[in-house]
Amino acid sequence: MVQAWIYNEEDQSDQREAHHLTPDEPVPLPVLRSLGVLYWRIDPSGCAEDPHKGRLGDIRKQRHYKNHDIITVSPDKLPNYEEKIRSFFEEHLHEDEEIRFVLEGTGYFDVRSDRNQRWIRIAVESGDMVVLPAGLYHRFTLDTKNYIVAMRLFQDAPKWEAINRGDKAESTDARKQYLEFNTKVTAEEDAAKQVTSKKVESVNGESFTLQSGARSLANYPHMRAYGGLLYISGISSRRADNTHRGAEKQADGSFKLDAAEQTAAVLDNISVILGRVGASLRDLLDITVFLVDMSDYAAINDVYNSYFPNPAEGPTRTTVAVKQLPHPNLRIEMKCVARDPRGSK
């Protein structure tokens, strides 16, 4: 499973060393997602021979990754090895996504957070598929094992043009679009932090109603605490202003609905609600997922798995398709129960 952490820039050792901070500062997958980095775990066996098989094939189809090649980076396979890996380690961006599926070996992708300019190091190993968005500054290095075999995927003809950090990179459309995306995500994160809630105690426990986030549309709280458990109402991707994440208005007035983005939004909203009592997604015990169309199942699972990478620690889950949700733009809603880290109330 992919591991990520803040890169220690003070550590002057070889780029192939892990460069952890002391103490280590791990970076969870949702943070990578908020930078636009996507991650999947896929069984790599047989993928080199049949590069359209199973899960890999599904993702390729979904994301229009028509072409690919396979590269081996190791001292005996790559001429001028030391020089080459130093050049991969130059901070750069691309005008297209960088898509890598690791078939064998290990390595590190470093991505630059535009929020605080820190490097986040992502360790990849066999079976990890990582997508870096166009316009995000990054770099790559092998680790001390000096060996990786990776499938590079492309939407169009294979090309690899790196634009090093500087004026040229800043003036690309890819960079401008990425910064626009980043500003939006940062604003969402800031808004989430400022959410306040009203707590009321009654015979059936404590109720929590968000005051500055999306309001309930009838007389129910967002969350109720009782007997050491937290019960959370059905949550959608609705924002405080009643628009929805994952439902973007098009020039013709119609809405482009994105079930994957809505899934991330729902989980982020649940996370904000749980935060009222100091709980997090890790405290979830059970989730019921409501979809209006089961054809979204694979797409929502990809996002879901990035929030809950380890089934042994994740909540139980049931997914059902329903005829409708309360707003036509909604593709998904979730209802859940969590443990209350404060104990029995």
Q: What are the residues binding Fe ion (CB under 5 A)?
A: 98
- The CB-of-138 to Fe ion minimum distance in angstroms stands at 6
Rounded CA gap, 147 and 223, in Å?
A: 49
- In the bound state, the residue with its beta carbon closest to Fe ion is 98
| Distances, alpha carbon 104 to alpha carbons 32, 68, 178, in Å | 23, 16, 30
Locus of tokens 């995000």: 136
- The CB-of-142 to Fe ion minimum distance in angstroms stands at 14
User: Greatest CA separation found in the chain?
Assistant: 73
Q: Is the dihedral of CA 41, 59, 31, 150 positive or negative?
A: positive
**Which residue type is seen at 77?**
K
- The CB-of-33 to Fe ion minimum distance in angstroms stands at 19
Q: Is the dihedral of CA 138, 139, 140, 144 positive or negative?
A: negative
- Pairing relationship of beta strands 284-291 and 316-321 according to DSSP bridges: parallel
- The CB-of-109 to Fe ion minimum distance in angstroms stands at 8
For Fe ion, the closer of residues 70 and 337 by Cβ is 70
For Fe ion, the closer of residues 35 and 223 by Cβ is 35
For Fe ion, the closer of residues 98 and 333 by Cβ is 98
- The CB-of-123 to Fe ion minimum distance in angstroms stands at 17
For Fe ion, the closer of residues 99 and 266 by Cβ is 99
Rounded CA gap, 173 and 178, in Å?
A: 8
For Fe ion, the closer of residues 98 and 283 by Cβ is 98
